[in-house]
A and B are shown apart, each in its own frame.
Chain A
């Protein structure tokens, strides 16, 4: 089971996006790939609803990795890593969500309500194709294996915490 599961494992990976909007599917595709690895103590879920649902998803989970597509005008395929516990996300980076209450806003709401996970790492990949029916761009597709490696490294680090 993916989104909405009540099973809470120590490490949660959340892939955010929309399958029908080209590069916005990146987060979902990554979560799908990571879920198929059946890593012990790690749950990977796909998420495409409004940002406030993220608060429900990570409730009771200490360590969370979130991955989403980014639209900031940088080169397509570029990847990012953020630690929002130290510094708020640049909200303009994650405005490609189909819902304006997106990842950055959800993190700030959780901060205001004091319900952020104790560890939170956000990965992003710069995209260009965000219209309904767009295909995944070659640049983003090429970046996915690298991003997955980055996330797997992060999982190992979080396991040590």
Chain B
């Protein structure tokens, strides 16, 4: 190998958003790996100061075109904690379905259009369509089903406008849901077909050691509520988030890196939820997982494509059940009055834990806000994975190395639109 070599590759494809990856190799040893992330949430934290709490959910939904509901839900739960609000059980169920609709849209996109091309040997989904037209069509239809859930419950699919502190502006009539119920029945079958397909893809024998972190609820697969737990024994209320997790500035990166105070890098998202909450998945999803060779444990990041597909099946199954049992609430929303205080919330965005913190004054104006998106939390772990991969494959030709680094990043489905600007890969070797 040459002693001095610099490789630059711009625009890593097929992830949500853009960012920059820098890999430094010195004398045949990897010195550093930095995923450079610009964080719009920081911009929003400043932007939210002085705004009325009722404006917050619609404002934060603009942080991301892929995860608007996630930001709405984390903000609403934190604000409702301050205001002492208890919502109607049917409103709670509708929020859950709305959020699961966002998961479905995100997972269907990543599984079929962004991640699958890595396993079938094509450069992108446009190429893949030639050999897998049925699978791509199914992915688009599943994504569209998520989009329809968000349209019906959220008022529109991108940046839903029907969500408010205390509930919804307008709750749907039972008749409004009839079409969705039929479509979700199709969705269950389609998600099963996707699990069967992705479980036959070629996976490398590759396992990572993870500290998985997710919410855990006693009766449900985690979405909006629960305690924060980890595979290393963490078990805390959401309000203790900042006592156990820290964000640090790292050289060569704009982004703050999260870690568990006592230990280090951790992972949030579908793999974490799956490993920590397997027994809360719908029985049909548990069975499909077992048939796909996953008995409740998965430490292979490449197989996250199967886990997302299993979650897609769970989403359809649970949403179907919740909508079939839906009764129109007496009131769409609980009235709220301004109150000073601090509120904390973690919810499960499609890509994992999304933390929002707010402090309000007596008039209900935001005094301070903090938002920590899942991709920023996973950044350390993605870098560790890249570090290991590059260290083990230093002799690999440049083009192959670049492709494999991109694939490693895609395994984690980073939503860099939440967390970055342009993604460029810079390989700096001496």
Contacts and interface: CB of A to CB of B under 8 A. Distances in A.
B11 interface: yes
Q: Is the interface of A mostly helix, strand, loop or mixed?
A: loop
B133 interface: yes
B315 interface: no
A132 B47 CA distance: 12
B40 A56 contact: no
B156 interface: yes
A98 B230 CA distance: 32
Give chain B's interface residue range (CB within 8 Å of chain A).
35 or more
Contacts of B54: none
Contact of B143 (A47, A52, A99, A130): A52
Interface residues of A, number: 31
Contacts of A141: none
Nearest to A6: B151
B156 A50 contact: no
B40 A53 contact: no
Interface stretch (A32-40, A72-80, A106-114): A106-114
Contact of B158 (A53, A130, A131): A53
Contacts, number: 96
B210 to A, nearest CB: 26
Interface in A71-114: 95, 98-101, 105, 108-109, 112-113
A126 interface: no
B147 A53 contact: yes
Nearest to B108: A52
A50 B66 contact: yes
B113 interface: yes
A133 B126 contact: no
Contacts of B107: none
Nearest to B124: A105
A20 interface: yes
A132 B38 contact: yes
A20 B14 contact: no
A39 B143 CA distance: 31
A4 B126 contact: no
A86 to B, nearest CB: 18
A132 B144 contact: no
Nearest to A21: B421
B256 interface: no
A113 B137 contact: yes
A118 B156 CA distance: 26
Given A100-B16, A101-B14, A3 B156 contact: yes
B113 A20 contact: no
Contact of B62 (A1, A20, A50, A52): A20
A142 interface: no
21 contacts: A1-B156, A4-B151, A19-B62, A20-B43, A48-B159, A49-B66, A49-B158, A50-B65, A50-B66, A52-B140, A52-B143, A98-B18, A100-B14, A100-B17, A101-B109, A105-B124, A108-B126, A109-B113, A112-B130, A130-B421, A132-B40
Given A4-B147, A52-B140, 12 more contacts: A3-B156, A3-B158, A6-B151, A50-B109, A53-B147, A53-B157, A56-B147, A100-B13, A100-B15, A100-B16, A108-B126, A109-B126
Interface of B: 11-18, 38, 40, 43, 62, 65-66, 109, 113-114, 124-126, 129-130, 133, 136-137, 140, 143-144, 147, 150-151, 154-159, 417, 421, 423
Interface of A: 1-6, 18-20, 47-50, 52-53, 55-56, 95, 98-101, 105, 108-109, 112-113, 130-133
